[in-house]
Structure 1
Amino acid sequence: MTTTAPPTFPAPALDRLPELTRALAACAATHDRDAELPLRDFELVHEAGLLTATVAARHGGPQAGLADTVRILRALGAGDPAVALVTAMTLFTHAAEARTPSWPAGPLGELLTESARRPVLVNALRVEPDLGSPVRGGLPATTARRAPDGGWRLTGRKIYSTGAYLLDWLLVWAVTDEDRPRVGSFLVRAGSPGLAVEPVWDHLGLRASRSDDVLFTDVPVPADHVAGLSHPGVDGGRDPVGGVWNSLGLAALYLGVADAARDWLLGFLHERTPSALGAPLATLARFQSAVGEIEVALAGANRLVAALAAAVDAGEPGAADEAGGAKVLATRAAIDAVQQAVALVGNHGLARRNPLERHLRNVLCARVHTPQDDSVLLTAGRTALDRSRPVA
C-alpha cells in the first residue's frame, strides 16, 4: 500500500456538508415511504462536488482519500442513508480506479466526461441468487460468451443491486464461457438491450435505496468494455483495499444514521414535558445518564473510524487489517445507540410519525454489508490463536 498521503479534498466542499445533510433529511421520510429516490438528491450531492470526490488526480479530480470519504458518508448518512449508500458505491468505484487503473480508455473517458457535467451513478453488481456474496468464495452464474463481432453477450441475474434503476454504469461480475474460464467486470451502460430492472425490493430498512434485481438477457458488451478479466483466484476477485474502503465507509454511513437518531432524541427530551413532572425530560438524571452513554459510544466509534481511515491513507502498517474489526465495533455502536434511544422514549420511538422509527429500521441494515460480523470475528480469532500458538 502506498505511503503517500492523498491530495487534500477542498475544504469549502466539506464545509457544505451540514447544509447538505439538512437538505437530504428534509426529504428522507418521503423517500422512505415511497421507496424511491429522485435524481434531484444526487444533483445536490453532485453540485457540492461530492459525487466525484474520489476521481483520480491524474484525471483532474480531487482524489479524496478514505478519511475525507468517511467524513462525507457520515454526513450523507445522517441526512438520507439511501442517498449515501448509492453515493458510496460511486465513490468506491472512482477510488478503485484511482488506486489501480482497470477501466479501458474508451468507457473511462465517457464516465469522466459525463460525471463532470451531471450526476453519474455507478455500482458493481456481484451478488447472485445462488452464490450470495462472492466474498465467501465461488464463481458467478452470470456468463459472458463471445459474440461474432468480437464483443461479449452477457446473461444472468444480480440481486441486491443498490440504486439499480438510477445507475448509469453497471459493473457486472461474470465468468466467460471459454475453455479456460476467466472472471471480470463487464461494463454495461444503462438502457442496453436485454437489460431489465425487476422491482422486487421490499425491505425493512433503506427502502429508498431500491436494491432491486437486475436481469441480463444476451446483453451486448463491446470488446473494450471489460475490466480486470483474469483467471479465477482464491480471493473471489475482490480488491482487498476496496474492502477496507467498504468497511470504514459504510461504518461511517451508519454512524451518521445514529447521529441523526441521537439528535432527534435530544430535541425530544428538551420538548417533552410530562404534566406530572412539570419540567422537560432532559432535566432528569436518568435521561441525562442514558444520553451520556449514547454520546460516549458514538464519539468513540466515530473517532475510531476517522483515525483508522487516516492511518490507511497514510499507509500505516497494519491499519488496513483493522478495518473489518472497526466496522464491527462501529456498526454495533450505531445499532445499540439507536436501540437505546427507542427504549428511552417508549412508544414515541416506534411511532411512524417520528423519524426514530425510520432510523432504527435503517441502522439495522448495517449488519448485512460485507464483511459481516461472523467472518470478521472468525478471522480475528484464528489470527490471534495462530499468533499465540506455542512453539514446538
Structure 2
Amino acid sequence: MPEVVSKTLYDEIEALIPIFQSREPELDKLGSFPFENVNALVDLGYTKLILPEAYGGVNLSAYELVKYQTLIAKGDGATAISIGWHMGTLLGLRNNTAWPQQTYDFLLQKVAQGALINLVMSERGSGSPTRGGTMQTTATKVEGGYVLNGHKAFATLSPMLDYFISGVNLDGEDSFFLIPRHTDGVSILPVWDSVALRGSASHDIVLNDVFVPDHFLVQQADIANSVIRSPGGLLHIPACYLGIAEAARDYALHFATTYTPKSLGKPIIETVPTQQKIGEIELLLKQSRYILHGVAKEFDDGTVQLADLLAAKTTVVNHAITITDLAMRICGAQSLGAKSPLHRYYLHVRAGLHNPPTDDEILTLLAKATY
C-alpha cells in the first residue's frame, strides 16, 4: 500500500475522531450501536482495504491495520472492536486455501461491495472454542446442502452483519459454515447488556432450520487451531484497547493543563505527583506501541512467533487498564462525573481481559513454550 494512500486514509480517519467521540456517550445505552460510525468507515472504503488486490483491496498490512484500529478506538471503542472483528476475520482468511474456491470468491466479492462479516463461534454454557469447547450448534445433511440449528453468543457487529462464519457440529466433527445473516431462520436475540463496550451490540444469534448450500460448508478442522482463527487476525483486539487508553491519556492531559485549584494557584500539571503519573502513562504507551507494532511487522514478514502475538495481547490490554486508572487518578473525583468519559473508558478497557485468548491461557502457553 503506497505511503501516500496510507497517509491520506490516516488523515481521513483522524478527522473522524472528534465526531466519534461526540457520539460515544450515547453508546452507553442498552440497544445502542454506532451505525453512523461504521457507515462512515464503509464509505471511506476502509472495510475492503484488507482484501487482496485481486478482490479490490490493497492487501492492507497488519502493521497498518493496528495503527488504524488504534486511531478508530481513540474515537470510539465500540466502533473499533466491531469493525476490528470484520478486519481481523479477513486478515485470518487472507492466505486461506482450505475453502471451496467459489465460496471464497463469493464472500470476498461481497466484501468488496461493502458487506460486513465476523466469526460467530461462542455458545453459552459450552465454553470458549479456544479452550476446546465443543460446538452444540448442529448441521444435518439434506439434498443440496445442510440445515443448521443452534444458538450462538457474543456476535459483535450483529446489527450490521451481512455474513458470518460459524462453528457447527457436523456428524461429531466441528466444522465451519458461511451463513448469510438474512437467511430465513436466522434471528438476532438482543441480550447484550454488558456495561463495557455496550455499543458493540454483541448479541446472540439463533439458527432455526437455516438452510445453506453444500459449498457453504467451508472447512472441517480443529476449530481452536484453525487458520480461520489465525492469531494474527486477533491483533485488532489490543489495538482497540490501546486506542481507548490513548483517549484517556488525552483527556487527563487536558484536565491537568487546564485545572488550577485555588489552593494551588497553578495548573496541576506543574506538580510532581501529576507529572509522575503522566510519565508512567507515557512509558506504558511507548511499551505498548513498541510491542504491538513490532509483532504486527513480524506477522507481515512471516517471522512472528505465536508466543510474541500472545504477549502483545496481554501486555497491551493490561497496560491499557493501568493507563486508564492513572488518568482517573490525575482527574480525581471528577473522573467519575457523568460528563467525563473516563469511567466508561475504564470499563471498556477491562473488556479486553475477556477477549480471546485470556491472560491465564496466554501465561500457560508462554510457560509451556519454555520447555
Query: For residues 321 and 58 of structure 1, what CA distance do their matches in structure 2 show?
Result: 32
* TM superposition shift of 1:381: 1.6
Instruction: Indicate the SS of the match to 1:63.
Output: coil
Tell me, yes or no, if structure 1 residue 16 matches structure 2 residue 5. Answer: no
SS of 1:379 mapped into structure 2 = helix
- Residue in structure 1 matched with residue 342 of structure 2 by the alignment: 356
Q: Aligned partners of 1:362 and 1:373: how far apart in 2?
A: 17
Tell me if 1:161 matches 2:144: no
1:137 matched to 2:125? The reply is: no
Query: What is the aligned partner in structure 1 of residue 200 from structure 2?
Result: 209
Provide structure 2 residue ranges, at least 5 long, that are not aligned to the other structure.
none
Which deviations, in whole Å up to 9, do the C-alpha atoms of 1:27-84 show, x marking residues without a partner? 1111223542243211211222211121112323111121111111111111111111
TM-score of the two chains, using structure 2 as the length reference: 0.93
**Aligned-partner residue type, residue 358 of structure 1:** R
Of 311, 320, 329, the residue aligned with 1:325 is 311
Could you say which residue in structure 2 is the equivalent of 1:3?
none
| Contact 1:175 1:183 (C-alpha < 8 Å) held by counterparts | yes
Q: Which has the higher helix share?
A: 2
Aligned residues: 369
SS at match of 2:262: coil
Which stretches in structure 1 are left out of the alignment for 5+ residues?
1-6, 387-392
Query: 1:56 touches 1:94 (CA, 8 Å); kept in 2?
Result: no
Output aligned runs, 1:1-392, within 5 Å: 7=1, 10-11=5-6, 12-118=8-114, 120-147=115-142, 149-177=143-171, 181-230=172-221, 233=222, 236-239=224-227, 242-246=230-234, 248-316=235-303, 318-384=304-370, 386=371
By how many angstroms is 1:301 displaced?
Answer: 0.9
Q: AA paired with 2:279?
A: G
Q: Distance in 1 between matches of 2:192 and 2:149?
A: 21
Distance verdict in 2 for CA 1:313–1:320, change over 3 Å:
farther
Q: What is the root-mean-square deviation in Å for CA atoms of aligned residues?
A: 1.9
User: Please, which moves more after superposition, 277-286 or 155-164?
Assistant: 277-286
* Distance change >3 Å, CA 327–CA 211, structure 1 → 2: same
3-state SS of 2:29 partner = helix
Partners of 2:31 and 2:264 in 1: CA distance: 40
Query: Over residues 73-121 of structure 1, what are the superposed CA-to-partner deviations in whole Å (9 max), with x where a residue is unaligned?
Result: 1111111111111111111222222211445455544444443343x22
Question: Helix, strand or coil: the match of 1:361?
Answer: helix
Q: What SS does the corresponding residue of 1:16 show, helix, strand or coil?
A: helix
The farther-off stretch of 206-215 and 50-59 is: 50-59
Change (3 A) 1:35 1:138: closer
